[in-house]
Amino acid sequence: MSIEFEPQSKRLLVIGGGVAGLEVARNVAYADYHVYLIEKEPALGGMVCRLNQLYPEGMPDAHTLQPLIEEIEKQKNIEIFTETEMIAANGDIGNYQVELKQKGKKKKILVGAIVVATGLKDYEIEKVEAYGYGRYKKVLKPIEFEEKVSSGEINPVDLKSVVIINCAGSRDKNYLPHCSRVCCFIGLKEAKLIKDKNPYTEVYVSYIDMRSYGNLESFFNTLKDIYNVNFIRGRPSAIEELNKNLYVKVEDEILGDLLKIRADYVILSHGYVGDEKVLSMLRIPLDTGDKGKFPTTYLNSLLSVDSNPKGIFVCGCAAYSKNVAETLIEARSTALSAINTLKDISIRTPVAEINSDICSETHCKLCLYVCPYCAIVQEEDKIKVIPSLCMGCGICTATCPTGANTLEGYTDSDLFHQIDEKVKKDDTVAFLCKWSAYGAYEKWAGNGYKNVKVIKVPCTGRISVGFILKTFQKHARNILISGCYPDACHYNKGNFILRKRLSVTANLIEQFGIPKEKIRIEWLGKKESGRIKSILEEMRGGERE
Amino acid sequence: MRKPKVAFYWNASCGGCEEAVVDLGLDILKVVEAVDIVLWPVALDFKYKHIETMKDGEIAVSFINGAIRTQEQENITKLLRRKSKLVVAFGSCAHLGGIPGLANFWDAEQIFNTVYKSLPSVQNPEGVIPKTNVNVDGYELTLPEFYDTVKTLDQVVDVDYYLPGCAPPPDLIMGALTSILENKLPEKCSVFAPDKSLCDTCPRGENKPQKLSIKKFQRIHMVQPDPRKCFLEQGIFCLGPATRSGCGERCINANMPCRGCFGPIKGTVDQGDKILSAIASLAEARTEQEEKTLFDSLEDVAGQSYMYSLPSSLLHRKRKEV
Amino acid sequence: MGKKVTIEPVTRLEGHGKIEIFLDNFGDVEKAFFQVPELRGFEKFSTGRLAEEMPRITPKICGVCPTAHHMASTKTLDDLYKVVPPTAAKKIRELIYSAFMFEDHILHFFFLGGPDFIVGPQASPELRNILGVIATVGLRTGKKVIRIRKKCRDIITLLGGRVIHPVCGLPGGISRGVSEKERKEILKTAEETVEFAQFALKAFEDIVLKNEEYLNLIVGDIYKHKTYYMGLVDDKNRVNFYDGDIRVVDPSGKKFAKFKPRDYLDHIEEHVEPWSYMKFPYLKNVGWKGFVDGKKSGVFRVAPLARLNAATGMATPLAQEEYEKLFDTLGKPAHNTLAYHWARLVEALYAAERMKELAEDTEITDPHIRNFPTIEPKEGVGVVEAPRGTLFHHYKTDKRGKITECNLIVATVNNAAAICMSIEKAAKGLIKKGNVSDGLLNMVEMAFRAYDPCFACATHSLPGHMPLQVRIYDSLGKIHKTVTRNI
């Protein structure tokens, strides 16, 4: 099938003018592509420009940010819009119509691909009421503390005691269930910041686990052994104010003591979340599990950076919290992916197609409910497949009750025809998914049985009840359905859906006098040739060629 | 100009299709004027011998309703096919097998044993059952053979067109008659009804939700359905998505779900396949045990899915015990 | 053995009806058989189905009286789940039912059986049909018939979803209610139906009863059987189509039995013959004595005349007047088969009056139309009076409400034995010494048609004839004579 496709634009939109967005813009512009860079604040720089210091050394502005900004401002093919946000986005890869708003004025642009680099978004730590953020003036977020130290509002020389709560509100199913990775060392950074300015301040760091990977391990040990930072393993239960003093209540799990620590300041090293607003606008599915509204990594191939069908990349802390060095490295590889995409914008095939002469559109939309990629959308009164998102699994094709939805090469007519032609009475018919079972079968197929007929499908999710019935109509002896293990389906949930269809088919065929044991379902991986051989031998009753 | 000859005939039918024609009211008179009805057991003169002596193809169109389940029905149907240019399968029974098609879950012996022997009001100690040939006190009597399997019209003869429904609504009947008489025929084997599913015209389709999943199947007598919401959304089995539209949603408007009498949508063959593949995909269950419980709550799945279409389905009938 | 005469009409019961007449050596009728060569097996294929689908499956037994099956089935579900519908639901069901009984009776009288009288059995064949009726009563009346029938069918469509195979019945209620606006519309139609029914009765009186020839036909012996009679009655023993107990009177009119639907098996049994697919119900407590009438034979009759015989009156005033008039003329019980046509019109008037009563009752607009089952189902019986006779539905289910047994005694079938007898009697009375006349065929048909056996056996061909072929074989089996009509 050829989808008529002509990309309308080869320009890139970068959302976010922090270090991630800047680095991406720089690299892409350098490859001669036009970049729109939008930033919602009046100035570029994002989080990094608010920082005084980076771990372990270096002055952010001078070393990292400033040269970057200077270079960008020199580039002729980067258009920068500050105080600008994206308010709507429509279209598809090669043809995104994006609406921007800058200080009340609207502007429309047309781009071919988009990079989301909206940076770190704080978890709303005020939700943890016991910690009193917002109530107590001296309970601060790390960035606030750093800024106040930089500005001179806080002078560590005056501080007698500071408590840093690592993992504040994190890894807690009542608040933020996931780990945000960077907050451990941010807490440590604040400890060092204070100790560097005043070694006599008592610094306490409460923690649950110390996720100090790489160089952080020695950093942690230095703070503990040389800087005399007090590490308390335990999650503080509350912060109280008494006579203008803050008290942190915590149980030291190692020593078994209940402590009540007086503190001049308490720093809450909280977790970070994804930017739901921007990601939803671009219809990027969010992880609904414990990852706090970050984009899913598996779907939409965001994990495999060199094949992004939608042409939307999420980079930096917007994808998942990481430190500046990690951000810069990721930004460079995202830029390369964006460049490759813009160079050759095309649509993956085969994709599902909907025949609007037959489709009942918004009155039915059952296919829309099942697509794992949200590739089927409602646009006014029509239901459409977004070709760039469609992975060709066929789950929607098998769900469609009218036959309006077809998948090239695997239409109902193709598959019914195959069954009609190939299957003879008393055969064993194997429906095998192309990613795993078919590969396993092929490896062994030279020694295969002649009474076994194979029907290849892109995913077991393509199998509808009708193929099973048709196979029994031809008086097959039994049926094998084989595909990837659950949780490992190439299309995320094809095999789960197939299993549900088989569950109802089992009840159905029993009423037709066909024992449900005649359908066998086996999950296996591509390498398991031996296993598929023994399964089929068993199904043939040990009979050989 | 000679008026075209038209025949209306019925096989294993309830007579509802004939009523449907009578319900055309005054419109039917226009048709009656335009044609020469050579056979209509219900209302008009018919001439068996006359049919036999006709030339092949002399009848312009025969409308045949009812499924086929006796020898006699098959014979007369084949006779009419020979003598007609066009044969139209009229109504669900001729089109799909209809409700009598549900007998395909049984065979003749099982049916006879129940109807004539085991039912509580039957007093039949000698186990008498009807026979095709019997001698009663010297009198020779015959009955037509009762088949094991109910067949659709097109499983017995070639059918040119289909008029779906139980019974077909008056507007579709008039539309079909007009098409045929004015010779504005669609392609062969078409169904005289729109190509889309019932959902297309169903008023509840205006309110489809953003997300739809089924956690449990409800039995219609145990719940009061919300008349504005899609039945599937309420866990009530409705064949609408896999059924052709054109009926005016008469059942839906009475707050009862569709049972599929118009048959499958163009290009699809088996309503059970289509509706179950769709519904199963929407089911919500996290474990295999939950799945099983959920689908066990969809009871008599074969009867519900093939209520009108069992003979025309992929499997046609229940496997006979070997 | 003598000769065999085969009458093979093509208009049907549930398929063909076939009549075989055997002559003795003198050419007189020895025996006649009425065979039904059709079976679909509803009693069997309903098993395994969900009970709540039965009101949508059983109407497919008959497309002319689907509403009867729908109601009987719905009532069976009420009994199955021991759930009582709210009063509004009951009234709406009865309203639908009354509209149905009215339009069906009117259809039969004007289009199907009535032409026998209105135009006359001696009239030429081309006139013995609806066209002849219109010629006799006028085109305006003819159109009125079509219109009033359509209006009643529209009511059924409105309340039942569809008119051919309604869908609204549920155990403990119905699926949709009646608005005040709808009630008022229905009331208007109901008032028209009462007027029309009175008109029809007047027409019958003028055209038939005042015509001596017809009157003789009705009271004559050829079409007379002295059988038991069965019908549904209310607590005052008045005819009721929708609900009540079953009352049976003997051939002299004395009460023989009165029982509740649930007890029907104590009173009715079915006999099987190898030459017909249809079974023959009879009264258990009298016994099966063959195809004979009289007090000693368990053969009973149902449908309009039988209902009027089995009851002691009508529940509405105008119908009661007509009821009395009928029995004053014919005596009670009336055994005259052709009087079925008259009784049918009396019932049409009752149905119309009842429809009006229910449409006037504002309670039918109450939104409470469902009570839900609470117990596990096991067994239920539902009985209504279909236009053509008492209709019994009996289901047994498992705990989940799946049908395990389904027993149906379907209206006309109750008359099966009587139909056979009527045909044999008419044949015996008319075929003498091997002379088979054209008139015979008409007269035999009339016996058959009066029962209006669940569809078009009673129909007239528009030009006036049911197609018949009578073959007379000599004792060597060669065809001696063939008398045909419209073949």
What's the pLDDT tens digit per position in B114-127? 999 999 999 999 99
**Residue A202 in tokens:** 């008592």
How would you classify residue A195: left for phi > 0, otherwise alpha for psi between -120 and 50, otherwise beta?
Answer: alpha
Q: Say if the Cβ atoms of B115 and C39 lie within 8 Å.
A: yes
C17 vs C391, residue with greater confidence:
C391
What does the DSSP assignment read for A416-455?
HHHHHHH--TT-EEEEEETTTHHHHHHHHGGG--TTEEEE
Task: State residue C115's pLDDT score.
Answer: 67
C136 vs C335, residue with greater confidence:
C335
Cα–Cα distance for residue pair C184/C120, rounded to 1 Å: 40
Cross-strand pairs, A379:
A382
Q: Say if the Cβ atoms of A369 and B302 lie within 8 Å.
A: no
Mean pLDDT of C84-97: 97
A203-214 pLDDT per residue, tens: 999 999 988 888
* Neighbour count for residue A52 (Cβ, 10 Å): 14
Continuous H helices in A31-141: 66-74
User: What share of chain A in percent tops pLDDT 90?
Assistant: 62
CA dihedral C213, C216, C217, C223 (to 10 degrees): -170
Closest among A208, B143, A416 to C37, alpha carbons compared? B143
Task: State residue B140's pLDDT score.
Answer: 84
SS3 state at A195: helix
Mean pLDDT of A444-451: 75
Q: E strands along C27-124, which residues? A: 29-35
Mean pLDDT of B56-63: 93
Fold for domain A12-119+273-343? Answer: FAD/NAD(P)-binding domain (3.50.50)
Give the nearest partner residue to B301 out of A370, A497, A507, using CB atoms: A507
Continuous H helices in A293-436: 324-343, 366-370, 395-399, 412-422
Cα–Cα distance for residue pair C418/A325, rounded to 1 Å: 101
- A217: exposed, middle or buried (C-beta count within 10 Å: 0-12, 13-18, 19+)? exposed
Of the given ranges (A468-482, B110-124, C324-338), which has the lowest mean pLDDT?
C324-338
**Residue A283 in tokens:** 């219809």
Positive/negative CA dihedral, B51, B56, B60, B61: positive
- Whether complex ipTM tops 0.90: yes
Task: State residue C457's pLDDT score.
Answer: 30
Q: Is the predicted pLDDT of residue C455 greater than 50, yes or no?
A: no
Tokens 């008109």, residue?
C199
Is any Cβ of chain B less than 8 angstroms from the Cβ of C327?
Answer: no
Q: Is the predicted pLDDT of residue A307 greater than 80, yes or no?
A: no
Q: Which of B273, B305, B319 would you mutate first to test chain A, the one with the most A CBs within 10 A? A: B273
Task: State residue A53's pLDDT score.
Answer: 73
Tokens 């933020």, residue?
A176
Chains that touch B (3 or more CB pairs under 8 A): A, C
Chain B residue numbers with beta carbons less than 8 Å from the beta carbon of C4 are 139-140
Q: Is the predicted pLDDT of residue A348 greater than 80, yes or no?
A: no
**Residue A377 in tokens:** 């959308």
B269-295 pLDDT per residue, tens: 999 999 999 999 999 988 889 999 999
Chains that touch A (3 or more CB pairs under 8 A): B
Q: Is the predicted pLDDT of residue B234 greater than 70, yes or no?
A: yes
Give the nearest partner residue to B130 out of C52, C274, C373, using CB atoms: C274
Is any Cβ of chain B less than 8 angstroms from the Cβ of C1?
Answer: yes
Strands A272-273 and A121-122: antiparallel
C478 pLDDT band, cuts 50/70/90, is: low
Give the nearest partner residue to A499 out of B265, B291, B319, using CB atoms: B291
Chain B residue numbers with beta carbons less than 8 Å from the beta carbon of C276 are 130, 143
Give the nearest partner residue to B116 out of C40, C272, C401, using CB atoms: C272
Task: State residue A282's pLDDT score.
Answer: 86
Q: Distances in Å between the alpha carbon of B208 and those of A366, A471, B200, B231, B286?
A: 10, 34, 12, 10, 24
Q: Is the predicted pLDDT of residue B5 greater than 70, yes or no?
A: yes
The number of residues making up chain C comes to: 487
Task: State residue A55's pLDDT score.
Answer: 67
Closest among C144, C122, C63 to C130, alpha carbons compared? C144
Chain C residue numbers with beta carbons less than 8 Å from the beta carbon of B259 are 53, 56
Give the nearest partner residue to C465 out of B14, B45, B50, using CB atoms: B45
Mean pLDDT of A53-77: 79
Task: State residue A303's pLDDT score.
Answer: 42
Closest among A325, A328, A221, A320 to A273, alpha carbons compared? A320
- Fill in the amino acid letter for C208: V
DSSP secondary structure letter of residue C478: -
Chain B residue numbers with beta carbons less than 8 Å from the beta carbon of C54 are none
Q: Which CATH architecture has domain A412-539?
A: 3-Layer(aba) Sandwich (3.40)
Cα–Cα distance for residue pair A497/B30, rounded to 1 Å: 54
Give the nearest partner residue to A473 out of B202, B265, B315, using CB atoms: B315
Cα–Cα distance for residue pair C305/C219, rounded to 1 Å: 13
Q: Distances in Å between the alpha carbon of C301 and those of A410, B8, C231, C263?
A: 63, 33, 9, 19
**Cβ-count burial C130-159 (b if 16+ within 10 Å, e if not):** bbbbbebbeeebbebbbebbbbbbbbbbbb
B96 vs A346, residue with greater confidence:
B96
B51 pLDDT band, cuts 50/70/90, is: confident
Task: State residue C459's pLDDT score.
Answer: 32
**Residue C323 in tokens:** 């009821």
Cα–Cα distance for residue pair A95/A347, rounded to 1 Å: 12
B172-203 pLDDT per residue, tens: 999 998 899 889 999 999 999 999 999 999 99
Task: State residue C254's pLDDT score.
Answer: 95
What does the DSSP assignment read for B205-256?
GGG--SS--BS-PBPGGGS---TTS-TGGGTB---GGGSB--S-SHHHHTT-
Q: Say if the Cβ atoms of B318 and A511 lie within 8 Å.
A: yes
- C8: exposed, middle or buried (C-beta count within 10 Å: 0-12, 13-18, 19+)? middle
Instruction: Tell me the residues of chain C between 457 and 486 that have a Cβ less than 8 Å away from chain B.
Output: 459-463, 465, 467, 469, 486
With respect to CATH, is domain B5-99+151-181 assigned 3.40.50.700? yes
With respect to CATH, is domain A125-270 assigned 3.50.50.60? yes
Q: Distances in Å between the alpha carbon of A447 and those of A429, A480, A482, B296?
A: 16, 18, 19, 40
What does the DSSP assignment read for A293-312?
SPBPSSGGGSSSTT--TT-E
If you average pLDDT over every residue of chain C, what do you get? 85
Which chain B residue's Cα is nearest to C178? B254
Q: Is the predicted pLDDT of residue C257 greater than 60, yes or no?
A: yes
Q: Is the predicted pLDDT of residue C150 greater than 50, yes or no?
A: yes
- Fill in the amino acid letter for C122: Q
Q: Say if the Cβ atoms of B42 and C456 lie within 8 Å.
A: yes
A320 pLDDT band, cuts 50/70/90, is: confident
Chain C residue numbers with beta carbons less than 8 Å from the beta carbon of B256 are 56, 161, 167-168, 175
A84-109 pLDDT per residue, tens: 999 999 888 888 999 999 999 999 99
Q: Say if the Cβ atoms of B285 and A500 lie within 8 Å.
A: yes
Task: State residue C38's pLDDT score.
Answer: 79
Of the given ranges (A187-191, B260-264, C13-17), which has the lowest mean pLDDT?
C13-17
Chain A residue numbers with beta carbons less than 8 Å from the beta carbon of B196 are 358-360, 402
Cα–Cα distance for residue pair C371/C162, rounded to 1 Å: 23
Q: Is the predicted pLDDT of residue C461 greater than 50, yes or no?
A: no
Which chain C residue's Cα is nearest to B93? C60
Instruction: Tell me the residues of chain B between 66 and 85 that have a Cβ less than 8 Å away from chain C.
Output: 69-70, 72-73
What does the DSSP assignment read for B254-298?
TT-----TT-PPTT---HHHHHHHHHHHHB--SSHHHHHHHHHTS
Strands A113-116 and A12-15: parallel
Give the largest Cα separation in chain B, rounded. 74
**Residue C355 in tokens:** 């429809």
User: In this structure, is residue C286 part of a structural domain?
Assistant: no
User: In this structure, is residue C214 part of a structural domain?
Assistant: no
User: How far is the alpha carbon of B222 from chain A, nearest alpha carbon, in Å?
Assistant: 22
Cα–Cα distance for residue pair A97/A108, rounded to 1 Å: 7
Give the nearest partner residue to B276 out of A358, A359, A504, using CB atoms: A504
Cis peptide, bond prior to residue C333, ω within 30 of zero:
yes
User: What share of chain A in percent tops pLDDT 70?
Assistant: 92
User: In this structure, is residue C23 part of a structural domain?
Assistant: yes
Mean pLDDT of A223-249: 93
Closest among A133, A113, A115, A114 to A123, alpha carbons compared? A133
C196 vs C110, residue with greater confidence:
C196
What does the DSSP assignment read for C336-384?
BGGGHHHHHHHHHHHHHHHHHHHHH-GGGG-S--B----SPP-EEEEEE
Cβ(B201)–Cβ(B245) below 8 Å = yes
User: How far is the alpha carbon of B141 from chain A, nearest alpha carbon, in Å?
Assistant: 36
Cα–Cα distance for residue pair A146/A138, rounded to 1 Å: 13
Q: Is the predicted pLDDT of residue A361 greater than 50, yes or no?
A: yes
Q: Is the predicted pLDDT of residue A301 greater than 90, yes or no?
A: no
Q: Is the predicted pLDDT of residue B300 greater than 70, yes or no?
A: yes
User: In this structure, is residue C27 part of a structural domain?
Assistant: yes
If you average pLDDT over every residue of chain A, what do you get? 89
Q: Is the predicted pLDDT of residue C358 greater than 70, yes or no?
A: yes
A355 vs C437, residue with greater confidence:
A355
C408 vs C462, residue with greater confidence:
C408
User: In this structure, is residue C22 part of a structural domain?
Assistant: yes
Cβ(A445)–Cβ(A532) below 8 Å = no
**Residue C247 in tokens:** 């009352």
Backbone angles phi, psi at A235, to 5 degrees: -100, 115
User: How far is the alpha carbon of B25 from chain C, nearest alpha carbon, in Å?
Assistant: 7
The number of residues making up chain A comes to: 545
**Tally of domains in chain C:** 1
Is any Cβ of chain B less than 8 angstroms from the Cβ of C26?
Answer: no
Strand order in the sheet with A105-111: A84-92, A95-102, A105-111
CATH number at A352-407: 3.30.70.20
Task: State residue C6's pLDDT score.
Answer: 63
Task: State residue C462's pLDDT score.
Answer: 30
Continuous H helices in C138-241: 139-160, 180-204, 212-219
Q: Say if the Cβ atoms of C44 and B14 lie within 8 Å.
A: no
A274 vs A334, residue with greater confidence:
A334
Of the given ranges (A12-26, B18-32, C184-198, C347-361), which has the lowest mean pLDDT?
B18-32
Is any Cβ of chain C less than 8 angstroms from the Cβ of B224?
Answer: yes
DSSP secondary structure letter of residue A485: P
Mean pLDDT of C147-157: 93
> What's the domain range around C423?
4-38+419-485
Backbone angles phi, psi at B6, to 5 degrees: -130, 140
Asked whether the domain spanning A352-407 has the same topology as the one spanning A12-119+273-343, the reply is no
Is any Cβ of chain B less than 8 angstroms from the Cβ of C63?
Answer: yes
Domain range summary for chain B, segments of one domain joined by +:
5-99+151-181, 110-147, 198-305
B46 pLDDT band, cuts 50/70/90, is: low
